[in-house]
Amino acid sequence: MKVAVLGAGAIGAYAGAALHRAGVDVRLIARGPHLAALRRDGVRVLSPRGDFAARTPATDDPAEVGPVDYVFLGLKANSYAACGPLLEPLLRPGTAVVAAQNGIPWWYFHRHGGPHDGRRLESVDPGGAVSAVIAPERVIGCVVYAATELEAPGVVRHLEGTRFSVGEPDRSVSARCTAFGDAMVAGGLKCPVEPDLRDDIWVKLLGNATFNPISALTRATMRQMCVHGGTRRVVETMMTETLSIAEALGCTVDVTVERRLAGAERVGDHRTSTLQDLERGKPLELDVLLTALTELADLTGVEAPTLRTVHALSDLLALRSAA
């Protein structure tokens, strides 16, 4: 098995290092000081489960890697439409793209069944730009429950969680999903193949659609948002509205709001990826989190006033931070 990690940041490098431990031929694609550190020292993972290192080839030129069996896509979702020149050299007939993204994916209604089958969501696939670069037929969905930070170039701080759930858009348990999951497990991670990954997408989105934008607006950590009474009530309301949208689309979210809040509080003083992006002057990944939710609320007729309010505020923040 040959795997290219396109976007070997904190999550990508962590997954790549684990696959390397499993004996997989892994190539990391990164840039800047991080790439220099990867070339010099490999990936160093600092984790409460035990530190480890992986010396695997790294480059900024996918043409040096060539076609692979799997591309683990560690890029932010707002980079997908422009990643064609990086992705193309890695593809051959049969190459699977493991899209490890937050939020609602561009392939959400691909082979979904029912009245919305094949529908394109403008918020996450504007004008079909993402589908043109990454054909939904190539996709293995991936929901990441691990929390990591890039502590320094080449150094990944693993905070908690080892689960990377994967699944096919058509709900089949395919050989390619099973093989990838087995390799991740051999590297020390959890990687269940889910018959319907969309349920997992909504479980993760309960947190991402609430804590991520609020953290950017307030600069607060996970724990701080959970213990502040007023903010906690806003999060509870947003989660309830999110569950209503999921249920209207036929998804079963097997977690309560209170349990989701308790899990978030246990993470402690972790800064969400959106807050980290804001602090580093990077574009904010909000379209797949909140814009998509408001589009789905319109589609299903679900009232979502608090989601819409926080979306308006965070959208203005994203515009101002990009200016």
Show the low-confidence residues of the chain (pLDDT under 70): none
- What local confidence, expressed as pLDDT, does residue 202 receive? 96
Quick one: tokens of 221?
């950590």
- What local confidence, expressed as pLDDT, does residue 322 receive? 84
- What local confidence, expressed as pLDDT, does residue 20 receive? 98
pTM: 0.93
Q: Residue 287 in 3-state DSSP?
A: helix
**Residues 2, 190, 204, 282: which is the catalytic one?**
204
pLDDT tens profile 254-308:
899 999 999 899 888 888 989 989 999 999 989 999 999 999 999 999 999 999 9
- What local confidence, expressed as pLDDT, does residue 25 receive? 98
- What local confidence, expressed as pLDDT, does residue 167 receive? 98
Contact between 17 and 56 (Cβ < 8 Å): yes
- What local confidence, expressed as pLDDT, does residue 228 receive? 97
204 as an active site residue: the answer is yes
b/e sequence 128-144, b meaning 16+ C-beta within 10 Å: eebbebbebebbbbbbb
pLDDT tens profile 194-229:
999 999 999 999 999 999 999 999 999 999 999 999
* Intra-chain end-to-end CA distance of the chain, in Å: 43
The strand pair at 2-6 and 43-46 is best described as unpaired
- What local confidence, expressed as pLDDT, does residue 270 receive? 85
Taking CA atoms, 68 is separated from 143, 215, 219, 305, in Å, by 22, 37, 40, 45
Q: What residue ranges define each of the domains in the chain, with the CATH number in brackets? A: 2-195 (3.40.50.720), 198-322 (1.10.1040.10)
